[in-house]
Every structure is written in C-alpha cells, then in structure tokens.
Chains A and B, each alone.
Chain A
C-alpha cells in the first residue's frame, strides 16, 4: 500500500515536494514507516547524520491530527505527517 507523509520543518529537505509517498506491505505500522524513512535518508543523504537523527526523533500524526504510537497500524487511506522536534514561539 502507498502511504503519503506530509513533511514539516527540517524534514522538508527529504523531498522537493511537501510530501513523500512510500510503499509498505499491508498491516504495516509506524515502526515500518520510520524504518523505511531511515533507509531512504541513508541512501539519499549518506553523509548527513542529522537527517537520520530527525527521523529517529520525529513523531507521526494521523489524518485526525493525533500523534500516533509506534504500533499504530496503517490502512490505504492513512495520511501521515512527520513531526520533527518542535520549537516555536
């Protein structure tokens, strides 16, 4: 299944667009999303350890604007946002 991930903050550097689309097996969870993104970053930016750290430290939110945990299961309709460490004000 294809999962769309909206990008924010430093994670915007992961794509020229505002989002990423990744393909995962059915019944995948946030754990697999994180692993997939870590592989993507390692391949695309092998010298940038900061990007890898961002993926490790980021939360993910679903289409209802709720932070979801590592075991949260995804469906074909799931739209995620990656939420890197925050710091407004």
Chain B
C-alpha cells in the first residue's frame, strides 16, 4: 500500500492523523513515523524558515519509484507507506515531511523508513531556500541527478 503527495503550504498542511489511518493494518506489528521539521540553525546561521520548491509530478513519481525499489531490495512483509512533503514557506518548527511506514516486524519498518528518506534526499526533485534572521535567504546546495563531468 502506498500514498505519496506534495502539499502546498498555502492550501493545507501535512497530516499525521491521515498517515496513521492509511498505514493501520492488523497484519502489521510495527508502525514508524519519521517527521522532518525546520530547525533553527544551519551552517552557523540562524534559520527562521524554509521555502520548499518542488516539481510536483516528478516528486510524486519519485516517491512511488522509491517505494517500489524498497519493496524489491528489502525484505518487507505487508509494507504500507505514506509520504507527504511540504511545498512553499514553512516556519521554524513546521513539518517539512512525513514518512509513515508499517510492516510486519520492527526491523522491517526501521529499514524501510531509513531507505525512503535517504533515497528522497538523493533523488527527489525538491529544493530548499533557507531564510535567516538577518533577512537574507539562500538556496541550499544539493545532489546533482547527473554526473556533470561526463
């Protein structure tokens, strides 16, 4: 079972309740919720918020591909995955991502959750612009999807 969506911050917010309802299953003994939030510092600067940009269609496609890859590479019984990522301005402490997973056993749930967040960081077309307490802002450097030397 899979669900993945980008949520525009001006239109809605990420929902732990929906995540919990989606992954609930009597077949699963382990549920895990990874929640990403906006923290108050990065690279010795005081962060006040982050603007997230995303290519929505590619993000939702990428989430599904990552779920399918995980299902092939990892041994997960009865996997259920719910992913939401924020788009737009998120203030300090606000939720940027929810990855809710359920599986038969806890080790499977931990492996699945970790796999998904690490792959999202490397592959999914989402970008962060940090805002600082001196009213400056900066797009953060990321991981290229191509090898620029080739």
Determine if B120 is an interface residue (Cβ-Cβ < 8 Å). yes
B interface SS class: mixed
Give every chain A residue within 8 A of B148 (Cβ-Cβ): 56-57
Q: Measured between C-beta atoms, what is the minimum distance from B63 to chain A in Å?
A: 10
Which of A6, A9, A86, A88 counts the most B-chain CB atoms under 10 A from its CB?
Answer: A88
In the complex the two chains form, what is the Cα distance from A69 to B129 in whole Å? 27
In the complex the two chains form, what is the Cα distance from A12 to B55 in whole Å? 12
Indicate if the CB atoms of A81 and B145 lie closer than 8 Å: no
Nearest neighbor of B141 in chain A, beta-carbon distance: A85
In the complex the two chains form, what is the Cα distance from A17 to B146 in whole Å? 25
For chain B, the bracket of interface size reads 20 to 34
Known: A10-B139, A61-B55, A61-B58. A86 touches B127 (CB 8 A): yes
Determine if B102 is an interface residue (Cβ-Cβ < 8 Å). no
Task: Kindly supply a per-residue 1/0 record for chain A positions 6-18, scoring 1 wherever the CB is within 8 Å of any chain B CB and 0 otherwise.
Answer: 1011101000000
In the complex the two chains form, what is the Cα distance from A8 to B142 in whole Å? 13
Contact check: which of B36, B52, B141, B145 meets A59 at CB < 8 Å?
B145
Q: How many A-B residue pairs have CB under 8 A?
A: 85
Task: Kindly supply a per-residue 1/0 record for chain A positions 58-89, scoring 1 wherever the CB is within 8 Å of any chain B CB and 0 otherwise.
Answer: 11010001010000000000000101111111
For chain A, the bracket of interface size reads 20 to 34
Give every chain A residue within 8 A of B139 (Cβ-Cβ): 9-10, 84
Indicate if the CB atoms of A89 and B146 lie closer than 8 Å: no
Nearest neighbor of A54 in chain B, beta-carbon distance: B139
Indicate if the CB atoms of B53 and A12 lie closer than 8 Å: yes
Give every chain A residue within 8 A of B61 (Cβ-Cβ): 65
Smallest CB-CB A-B distances: 4 pairs: A88-B126, A9-B127, A87-B142, A85-B142
